[in-house]
Chains A and B, each alone.
Chain A
Amino acid sequence: MSKRAAPMSEAEQIMDKENRIRKAILKDYNKTQQDFENLKEYNDFLEEVEDIIFNIVNDIDVEETQEKIREYRNKNKMQIARNRARKDEEVRRKKQLAEEEVRKQQEAEAEALNPTAAAQKQNVNTAFIPNNAPLVFAPQPVPKNQDAINAFMEFHNIKYQETQEQMQQRAKAGGYKMDYPLKRAEEEAFSTVILLQAN
């Protein structure tokens, strides 16, 4: 839970409480529509869950509802575990699909920017394109973590070199110029050798 700048108002506190309780209960009551034969039974299940949550949030019949939850948990252990596994699978599959899509899109962009391919499309003489090299602004492969970056650099014997200009640009973005220390030192030095007596 990230820290908030201001304390929560009453409404927010109640909402927060409900969200927490909801999360905890839905871990156990995790049946999906597939587990029921018809829509009515599914809706009844959902209503039951909402009742339980309402009771606990508003401190109504807390003991009874807790008993209920315990009973349900004991009876349906297998079901709960199975449903959890199914949900994890789905999440993983979705993630994979999303990653594949991103990759495909990047490849497509690289293709589009490739001058030879583009030129051939337009029937231009490719001999005039220098070196047939890819243009500078082609997207580089995006490494996913620092380990991959380090391994890549080590393998190809690349050391991260920053030119003086790049360093200055970075400092300027932060509101600092590299000649501030020297200027400050000069000002202090040259103004404190001879002190003119002020009256």
Chain B
Amino acid sequence: MNQIIINLETPEIKVLEKVGEKDAIAKASKESVFRQISEGKAQFTASSSKAFALIIDGKSLQYALDDDMKKLFLELALGCASVICCRSSPKQKALVTRLVKAGTRKTTLAIGDGANDVGMLQEADIGIGISGVEGMQAVMSSDIAIAQFRFLDRLLLVHGHWCYRRISSMICYFFYKNMTFGFTVFLYEAHTSFSAKPAYNDWFLSLYNVVFTSLPVIALGIFDQDVSARFCLKFPLLYQEGVQNVLFSWRRIIGWMFNGLCSAIIIFFLCTNALDPQAFNKDGKIAEFQILGATMYTCLLWVVNCQMALAVGYLNVVQHICIWGGIGFWYLFLLAYGAMPPKISTTAYKVFVEGLALAPSFWVVTFFVVISALIPYFLYNAIQRRFFPTYHGMLQWIGHEGLSDDPKYCKMLNQRSIRSITVGFTALSLGKNQRWES
């Protein structure tokens, strides 16, 4: 890799230092640094396909960080694949971090293990402290503490990717389930001449987000893993999904909300058309507000929970318990709430035991509505995986097919960007490969 070295060890500066005049030294040093930076920049712009490394020491950094020169310095530094600031003071470390943060408006990460890194750790968006030989100061002022430097790649590539995916999935799913719920209520309102009569019993409404649909979302946020840890490390390009904000784009959010809309429409219209106005059971009884409300709510809970099971690609014991247990809990709740005296349970009094459980149409309608509401998403998913697979989708397929050790597929998937780039992890590893090859 080509190196651009900026230092003040030139003979002219040394002579001036012997003489001892501070102003002259400063002026000459500044000019020298400026010249070296400009030369470096010229080198770098001339050949844009090679990777460069910038090495600057603390003395030169002092001048490079002056207000009139720092923009130039930043441009040079950003164009290089690797920048090394050696012998810099803690304040300079923090200033460099601040310069990069403000100049690029990107998320910066700082890692350090000693007390001299504290300023830098606090300045960066994410500060990672390494606990160990140099004491605990870095750890105490950091956002995340790790034990050894080598754990950084696992932190970023595995946990970073998982965290990003979990948070974006959780938020999208949250919008979806509330959209479904709210829209069924809205559609019912349209049939009550908008008099604000909700479709469900009061306690059903209140407990929807708190009890019936809360645990699966929490389990999603804690446990979801789309790609195993081994694969995250093996295919580091997966991390780009987070960098480029693929999983939380507007398109995805609106897509989930639209899914909620469709589910709500399907639930509402299928339930009302199948159960009204004729009798719904053998005894000629009519499905009035209580029966219809409880049926719609049951369908809603099933749809929302099964959608979760469909959307995540990873179901461990805890998630199974949360999802299926949540649905089972709903039935228990109906029984318990319905058994309470009518003063408390108002419209839900014995609705399950007397009305719903014994009516085959309830079960038939629930089964139908749940499956029908999930078909659009399932279809979309099947088509997307076939024609527009995402990167993590491809990795899942590779894992499933057991082709993770097949060099041809690995090379295909590890293929970097088609455009040539000179910075970052890609350039570093390209440079590394070149060195090995030569």
| A pairs with B | no
Residues of B within 8 A of A (CB): none
